[in-house]
Amino acid sequence: MASLSPSRLVLFDIDGTLLSTDRSLWEDPFREAMELAFRESGEPRSIDTSHYRMGGKTDTQIIHEILEQNGVPEGTVERLLPSIRKTYLGLLKAKVEARPDYIRLKPGVEALLSELQAHGDVLLGLLTGNFEEGARIKLGPHGLNRYFGFGAFGENARQRSLLPARAVEAAKRHKGHPFTEKEIVIIGDTPNDIHCGRHLRVRTLAVATGPFTVEQLAVEGPDFVFPDLTDKEAVLSAILGPLSV
């Protein structure tokens, strides 16, 4: 019988891991939000995102880096960040309400989450670069919010490497257990997901459902790597296996 006290903290990335967004329905959300926020501030300008790669970064970091690449001074970025965040979240909410099919669930996700939730010794959380409101909007169409009572989000830190410790703190507040090292499992689809918890000696599961292949992810040294989450028994074994792994 599973313990009622959680002994494994499983932290999921969202984009590329749990779900993806259909770029054919909305090509560049951040560029649209930034240009709209600049127009509304009386400082209209075009934003070039053609050479920017967002994978594994926080929303705060993405906004800073895109605008810095476009020559926007740091002070201006900080001043407009709240407006850009509000604009982006408003656009995202409207898009998902109008086109729920903008959000596409990754293979095996629902079955895995359901199984993990049934384990009394497992606590599920989010470790995502999304702003929390954006995360909840994206998880809504497929009913995934019910699995995640807490997490660490894009407004909590500019760098993703700061998020694992904040997620662990949130888990301790949530359940009272001080999770450490291999009790903590981070599941994500980018090298940043693999590396972000390394200083905490966490267990990492990489999944090639985002922009990186199994081979590219394996080079980064995760504890486990899978093509996707459909092999539920193998993934569960990796998550719940001995702490010495």
For the chain, the structural domain boundaries read: 8-22+104-240, 29-98
pLDDT for the residue 3:
47
Mean pLDDT of 56-64: 92
**For residue 138, is pLDDT > 70?**
yes
pLDDT bracket for residue 245 (50, 70, 90): low
Task: Write the DSSP string, 54-83.
Answer: -TT--HHHHHHHHHHHTT--HHHHHHHHHH
In degrees rounded to 5, what are phi and psi of residue 128?
A: -140, 145
Mean pLDDT of 23-50: 94
Fold classification of 29-98 (topology level): DNA polymerase; domain 1 (1.10.150)
DSSP 3-state percent helix, strand, coil across the chain (nearest 5)? 45, 15, 40
Which residue has better confidence, 158 or 30? Answer: 30
Q: What is the CATH number of domain 8-22+104-240?
A: 3.40.50.1000
pLDDT for the residue 1:
40
Mean pLDDT of 226-244: 94
Cβ count near 217 (within 10 Å): 26
pLDDT for the residue 243:
81
**For residue 67, is pLDDT > 60?**
yes
